[in-house]
Amino acid sequence: MNFPFAPEQASNFAVEYDTLFYLITAFTVLTTLFVFVLCLGLIIKYKRGSGKPEDRRNPMHHNTVIEIASSGGFLSIGLFIFVWGAKMYLDMRQPPANAMEINVIGKRWMWHAQHDNGVRENNELHVPVGVPIKLTMISQDVIHSFYVPQFRVQFMVVPGRYTQMWFTPTKAGKYNLFCAMHCGTQHSEMGGYVYALEPKDFAKWKETGGNRFQPKPELPAAAGKQLYDDFMCGSCHTEKDNQRAPSLYGLYGRQRQFTDGSTMVADHDYIRQSLLAPEGKINKGYESMMQPYSFTEEQILELIEYIKTLGTPVPTQVAGGAQ
């Protein structure tokens, strides 16, 4: 049940978020009133001329029972709120394995989203009700913040690295989408809507992106393959490790070891860095010979989707090659 003037509760996080928010608000108000009433009572009782003067020859400097009860009580409430808030934060940072993935790019001044079947949207996002949604987000210029008040979710979208957030819509409807970080002169115009559709309605929409006259969209992995072929990536990165470069087959999600002894999981950030600044992470046994590329954020995401589809190679590390 929503409080008056509060945004509609339309995601799996909304009810718990509101409960904690109003609990903290109520605790703050009640504590403030308690201290105010206590101070007012002491002022009235001990003001000058308020009856018989108090004997102050043996003043009471402390009361152990009152101190333990008040300090312990407030500490217990504070720790309870902290543990609850920390649990909620961790839950919001760990998308479920079966979440539907959507890529989002923030740019001045619009939101660009791409679904796994290639459908693209600008300043709109269509999602199915009852299905966990994981957004992989990046900015191509300055810091933005993806914010849907009815879902009670918000997270920073920054240039240079990927961030993630997730939610599960719980009711069909049209909800606000804002940028919650001032990003320039037209920041106030960087908004749109999230449309939560029933699963069967979403399936129909997803076929053509809501436009029945639109040609069937190209899969991101297919667009990535075209880029992969156009730039002849396969001439060095073959199905197996070779003297020129390591294989990209089965790369995504695997641990990579570098010449400086460090390791890193091959995720979105690793692949993006390897494309734009390959000299930063050189695979063990190889030298820095790969040139940096000037791909757009959309192209990088498409290449990542294609690389994720490549099969698992036979592990044959070859020393003395190039990355």
pLDDT at 111 over 90: yes
Residue 194, in any domain of the structure: yes
Last residue of a domain, one of 160, 178, 208: 208
pLDDT at 200 over 80: yes
Question: What's the DSSP call for residue 252?
Answer: T
Q: How many domains does the chain have?
A: 2
Q: What is the mean pLDDT of residues 64-84?
A: 90
pLDDT at 211 over 70: no
Cβ neighbours around 229 below 10 Å, total: 11
Beta bridge partners of 265: 255
Answer yes or no: do 182 and 233 share one domain: no
pLDDT digits (tens, 9 = 90+) for 90-107: 999 999 999 999 999 999
Answer yes or no: do 224 and 204 share one domain: no
Q: How many residues does the chain have?
A: 323
Answer yes or no: do 191 and 251 share one domain: no
Q: What is the mean pLDDT of residues 37-44?
A: 89
Residue 7, in any domain of the structure: no
Question: What's the DSSP call for residue 159?
Answer: B
Answer yes or no: do 151 and 236 share one domain: no
Residue 159, in any domain of the structure: yes
Cβ neighbours around 44 below 10 Å, total: 9
Q: Are 145 and 155 in contact (CB under 8 A)?
A: yes
Q: What is the mean pLDDT of residues 115-122?
A: 90
Question: What's the DSSP call for residue 290?
Answer: P
pLDDT at 44 over 60: yes
268-276 and 297-309 are packed helices; what angle lies between their axes, rounded to 10 degrees?
120
Last residue of a domain, one of 208, 230, 247: 208
Residue 104, in any domain of the structure: yes
Per-residue model confidence (pLDDT) at position 8 = 93
Residue 36, in any domain of the structure: no
Residue 34, in any domain of the structure: no
Strands 100-107 vs 133-139: parallel, antiparallel or unpaired: parallel
pLDDT at 313 over 60: no
Domain that holds residue 234: 220-322
CATH of the domain at 174: 2.60.40.420
Last residue of a domain, one of 208, 229, 246: 208
Residue 108, in any domain of the structure: yes
Residue 49, in any domain of the structure: no
Per-residue model confidence (pLDDT) at position 50 = 59
CATH of the domain at 288: 1.10.760.10
pLDDT band at 320 (very low <50, low <70, confident <90, very high): very low
Rounded Cα gap, residues 249 and 76, in angstroms: 53
pLDDT at 76 over 90: yes
Per-residue model confidence (pLDDT) at position 9 = 95
pTM over 0.95: no
**DSSP H or E segment with residue 238:** none
